[in-house]
Amino acid sequence: DTAVSQTPKYLVTQMGNDKSIKCEQNLGHDTMYWYKQDSKKFLKIMFSYNNKELIINETVPNRFSPKSPDKAHLNLHINSLELGDSAVYFCASSQEGGLGMNTEAFFGQGTRLTVV
């Protein structure tokens, strides 16, 4: 059973299009995340979301919007795609714990987005 799954794995699209990437976790975690890994391999957090709060990285353009229909899903919608949006996008989830507890994030296999 896949813990965190994202679809599609590859996405090629033209500039200006709107696309969505879906993410589901079956771990019962209360927090989910979206990360972007660019061509230089830097892994940057874009959003984190639990049923209480959406935390947005201020550097993320408002063309990117997370949508969470329920606790197990956090989809990423991107409007008006640009060439610079080409990257690998990773979904992750974790169960927030207190001090003394291992807090492990589980990542999906990634979605390679190519904007042409």
Partner 1 sequence: LAKTTQPISMDSYEGQEVNITCSHNNIATNDYITWYQQFPSQGPRFIIQGYKTKVTNEVASLFIPADRKSSTLSLPRVSLSDTAVYYCLVGDMNSGYSTLTFGKGTMLLVSP
Binding site for partner 1 (CB under 8 A): 4, 31, 33, 35, 41-45, 48, 55, 90, 92, 94, 96-110
Smallest distance from the beta carbon of 40 to partner 1, in angstroms?
A: 8
Closer to partner 1 by Cβ: residue 42 or 63: 42
Q: How far apart are CA 69 and CA 15, in angstroms?
A: 27
Residues with Cβ within 8 Å of residue 99, at least 6 apart in sequence: none
Smallest distance from the beta carbon of 33 to partner 1, in angstroms?
A: 6
Nearest to 34 by CA among 101, 85, 98, 80: 85
Q: How far apart are CA 115 and CA 23, in angstroms?
A: 20
Smallest distance from the beta carbon of 112 to partner 1, in angstroms?
A: 8
Closer to partner 1 by Cβ: residue 16 or 97: 97
